[in-house]
Chains A and B, each alone.
Chain A
Amino acid sequence: MKLTPTKSLQNHPLAGWSLAGPAIFLITLFLIVPFILAFTLSFTNQRLISPNPTEFVGMRNFEQLLGVGTLVLQPETDEAGALVRDATGELSYPRVRDYTRNNADYPQLDGKREWLSWNWGDAKVYVLASDVVFMKALGNTFLFVLFVAPIQAGLALLLAVLINQKLKGINIFRAIYFMPVVVSIVVVSLLWRFIYSGQSGLLNNMLGFLSFGAFKPVDWLGNPATALWSILAMSVWQGVGFHMVIWLSGLQTIPASLYEAADIEGATTWQKFRYVTWPGLRNTAVLILIVITMQAFSLFSQIDVMTGGGPVDSTQTMVFQAVERGYGQQNIAGGSAISVILFLIVLTISMAQRYLTRERNR
């Protein structure tokens, strides 16, 4: 018996559209519309709620976020023209705020604050920014991505190679490594807050025990020098299982015959990894690198739960600032501007990664 296809329906010009319709509707509503809105709002002074009308302000939000300036200060001298040194022999400089606040001679620096500074001979060079918090968020985000992407990808590969063996009970290890991924990041962050606790946290106790008490407890999340690294370590631990599974799927697509051939040729383990496994994982590597980079750029939950951007802005990130401004300060326009900048950054980096890892003609 031959099935008669319902030709009339399949050929109907609306058939395709009606099938794709629900998806198109939802994607438009939740992805395309917010995207266009964020882009548009970033050029206005839109508030979350306000009786004042919305006005277009051009590039003002971006200028406010990205404005930078430099200032070079000479050390203070006494009447004889000699350099003034304090008790420790350090030179003393005039305060930056004397130049950036209500100083008619430096109108271009008005309202800017110190972002970076370094010594240049006796002089001190300051890079000032209109929005230091945003600049720090930008720096922290890049730092985070720069470290998380290689560490997380590398660790995940190591774990994937380890569990890609036919041993008894290997599934237990797979489950253990994958477990943190299944737990909500909010719960994980809360638990790690206890682990990192400065007074009697698990980590401090453990390090103290292992070093026979020689280790001085560190307030991991309360110290600007350690806070971002602590969050970084936790994030890698939490995310590594997921990418391990992707690596694993890549490993299992490599035909066993290649390894057998390598064995016949007398290849060492390292040679097998270098010349069989790694080339076979090429596409997986590209995918993992892009995915981790994009995930790392959207760092938010850990910050929100663990530090709230502190201490002293050492864990501010772009997405956290976008939410903080748009929602906390009800400045939707400012939050949108940050989102647009983030979008452009991630787009640029993804395209660069694609270009660098493209399939070259052999």
Chain B
Amino acid sequence: MKKLATLAGILAISTAPAWAQTELSLWYHGAGNPTEGEILGTVISDFNASQSDWMVKLEQFPQGAYNDTIVAAAVAGNLPDIIDVDGPNMPNWAWAGYLAPLQLSEGTLDGFLPGTIGTWKDQVYSVGLWDAAVAMFARKSVLEENGIRIPTLDQPWTGDEFNAALETLKATGEFEFPLDLSMDDRGEWYPYAFSPFLQSFGGDIMDRTTYTTAEGALNGDAAIAWGEWWQSLFTNQYAPGTSQTAADHATGFIDGRYALQWNGVWNALPALEAFGDDLLFLPAPDFGNGPKIGAASWQFGVSATSQHQDGASAFIEFATQDKYVAAFSNGLGLIPATASAAELTENYKPGGPLAVFYDLSKAQGTLRPATPGYVVAALEFIKLAADIANGADVADTLDAATDAIDADIQRNNNYGF
């Protein structure tokens, strides 16, 4: 008996610091990317050392399984205190009651890029330390050799110019495909990277004036024009289709098998390493309604079921410091959320090799529809983009997706709109 008491005493002393700090769990989507985990680990250990109330513990999941994990945890009532959420999913999670509004002190988000602040019904639910952008990766030497005009932010390629460039590059016979769209990544990449093309044609995933229907936006004439162009990319063998492998996507452009690559800023560093000054990040083509790219990336939020929402918010506020924003940007190549952090980074300081993305994001960044219905609409978009690429009838496929999105909105009483 006495022994036990001593043992308990020793245990109590040795774990005393942990008892003083309340544990907060944090789930993150970056498993498989050691750099990401390392930087986040630094933020967490700095935060844990900086105060004595809270102790954040990190758990990582692979990105492909992350959203399912959160949904399953929410159903089971097991959400962590701090959640990492992809920007366009935030309204759904807030509406469904997974997320609570953040409790940040005044001025925390001053100077943050608009795409990094997740707002739903006039309340901030999530904040990102970075934004992401997409650009057309290209090599200056290849474009010049083939007499293709190098587009600028002010004068992007028109749709016709872009198609002609693809034809020219294909005719050289030097490339397996003139364009790589990363069709292997059948997830959020599709709406993030491809729905801006649709918007540039004048269509959209849903009608943003009401958010209660996709009729007309997703199956109108503009959308059909987009669909036919989209299909032509694959029937003309301009781009590898849905059976492309992830490995081909990862190495194809760098190995010179693809001439152009529609790719995210998070993949910019390896390409930059391979091509240096020869590498160009070109703006999206303008198909009539302005050049557009997706905005909003992963952000941090607080779960609604957390017992310690104040502590969770405190961690998020701590993480928004410039030095951490800069660290993520340096490690992952992503766009820092504030201009002051950008100055601390290697790639985004004025004149830095990726600074162009900052301008791209500002000039062309377009949010995906901010509605709880986006989650299902995105799945439908993934399906329609894949089906059209695989040769399905354009108008019928768009109709089907429109009906499916409308049916979902109706089933959910218009998602509160």
Complex interface bits, A14-57 against B, C-beta within 8 A gives 1, otherwise 0: 00000000000000000000000000000001011111100000
Q: B379 near A: Cβ within 8 Å?
A: yes
B248 to chain A, nearest CB (A): 7
Alpha-carbon distance A111/B213, docked complex (angstroms): 14
Alpha-carbon distance A184/B257, docked complex (angstroms): 34
Q: B251 near A: Cβ within 8 Å?
A: no
Alpha-carbon distance A47/B396, docked complex (angstroms): 27
Cβ–Cβ contact B71 & A49, under 8 A:
yes
Q: A348 near B: Cβ within 8 Å?
A: no
A178 to chain B, nearest CB (A): 30
Q: A216 near B: Cβ within 8 Å?
A: no
Q: B172 near A: Cβ within 8 Å?
A: no
Q: A280 near B: Cβ within 8 Å?
A: no
Closest A-chain residue to B400, C-beta based?
A: A113
B91 to chain A, nearest CB (A): 13
B404 to chain A, nearest CB (A): 8
Cβ–Cβ contact B71 & A311, under 8 A:
no
Cβ–Cβ contact B375 & A222, under 8 A:
no
Q: B209 near A: Cβ within 8 Å?
A: no
Cβ–Cβ contact A327 & B386, under 8 A:
no
B300 to chain A, nearest CB (A): 20
Q: A357 near B: Cβ within 8 Å?
A: no
Alpha-carbon distance A243/B396, docked complex (angstroms): 43
Closest A-chain residue to B393, C-beta based?
A: A114
Q: B390 near A: Cβ within 8 Å?
A: yes
Alpha-carbon distance A219/B244, docked complex (angstroms): 10
Closest B-chain residue to A313, C-beta based?
A: B387
Closest A-chain residue to B183, C-beta based?
A: A222
Our pick among A97, A100, A199, A222 for the contact of B390 (Cβ within 8 Å) is: A222
Alpha-carbon distance A329/B376, docked complex (angstroms): 5
In the complex, what residues of B have CB within 8 A of residue A48's CB? 71, 75
| Count class of interface residues, chain B | 20 to 34
B225 to chain A, nearest CB (A): 16
Complex interface bits, B370-414 against A, C-beta within 8 A gives 1, otherwise 0: 000001100100010011001110011001100100011001110
Complex interface bits, A88-128 against B, C-beta within 8 A gives 1, otherwise 0: 00000001110011000000000101100000000000000
Q: B74 near A: Cβ within 8 Å?
A: yes
Cβ–Cβ contact B242 & A222, under 8 A:
yes
Cβ–Cβ contact B390 & A310, under 8 A:
yes
Alpha-carbon distance A312/B95, docked complex (angstroms): 32
Alpha-carbon distance A64/B404, docked complex (angstroms): 11
B188 to chain A, nearest CB (A): 12
Interface SS of B by simple majority: helix
B401 to chain A, nearest CB (A): 11
Alpha-carbon distance A313/B392, docked complex (angstroms): 9
Cβ–Cβ contact B392 & A113, under 8 A:
no
Cβ–Cβ contact B387 & A312, under 8 A:
yes
In the complex, what residues of A have CB within 8 A of residue B376's CB? 329-330
Closest A-chain residue to B395, C-beta based?
A: A97
Alpha-carbon distance A194/B245, docked complex (angstroms): 9
Closest B-chain residue to A314, C-beta based?
A: B390
Alpha-carbon distance A116/B383, docked complex (angstroms): 20
Closest A-chain residue to B68, C-beta based?
A: A327
Cβ–Cβ contact A97 & B399, under 8 A:
yes
Complex interface bits, B236-253 against A, C-beta within 8 A gives 1, otherwise 0: 000001110100100000
Closest B-chain residue to A332, C-beta based?
A: B75
Cβ–Cβ contact B75 & A49, under 8 A:
yes
Q: A328 near B: Cβ within 8 Å?
A: yes
Closest A-chain residue to B408, C-beta based?
A: A329
Interface residues of A in 183-240 (CB under 8 A from B): 193-194, 197-199, 219, 221-222, 224
Q: A67 near B: Cβ within 8 Å?
A: no
Q: B7 near A: Cβ within 8 Å?
A: no
Cβ–Cβ contact A111 & B243, under 8 A:
no
Q: A308 near B: Cβ within 8 Å?
A: yes
In the complex, what residues of B have CB within 8 A of residue A327's CB? 68, 71
Alpha-carbon distance A193/B246, docked complex (angstroms): 12
Cβ–Cβ contact B242 & A101, under 8 A:
no
Cβ–Cβ contact B248 & A199, under 8 A:
yes
Cβ–Cβ contact B400 & A312, under 8 A:
no
Q: B97 near A: Cβ within 8 Å?
A: yes
Complex interface bits, B61-72 against A, C-beta within 8 A gives 1, otherwise 0: 000000010010
Cβ–Cβ contact A51 & B95, under 8 A:
yes
Known: A310-B390, A330-B71. A51 touches B399 (CB 8 A): no
Cβ–Cβ contact A310 & B396, under 8 A:
no
In the complex, what residues of A have CB within 8 A of residue B387's CB? 310-313
A63 to chain B, nearest CB (A): 12
Cβ–Cβ contact A101 & B68, under 8 A:
no
Closest A-chain residue to B243, C-beta based?
A: A222
Q: A331 near B: Cβ within 8 Å?
A: yes
Residues of chain B whose beta carbon lies under 8 Å from any beta carbon of chain A:
68, 71, 74-75, 95-98, 186, 241-243, 245, 248, 375-376, 379, 383, 386-387, 390-392, 395-396, 399-400, 403, 407-408, 411-413
Given A199-B248, A311-B386; 18 other pairs, CB 8 A cutoff:
A45-B411, A47-B412, A49-B75, A51-B96, A51-B97, A52-B413, A97-B395, A100-B399, A132-B400, A197-B245, A198-B243, A222-B242, A310-B383, A310-B387, A311-B390, A312-B387, A327-B71, A330-B375
By Cβ-Cβ distance, the 5 closest A-B pairs, closest first, are A222-B243, A311-B390, A312-B392, A49-B96, A312-B390
Question: Could you show 21 A-B contacts with beta carbons less than 8 Å apart?
Answer: A49-B71, A49-B74, A49-B96, A51-B95, A52-B412, A100-B399, A113-B403, A198-B243, A219-B241, A222-B241, A222-B242, A222-B243, A224-B390, A308-B186, A310-B387, A311-B241, A312-B391, A312-B392, A327-B68, A329-B376, A330-B376
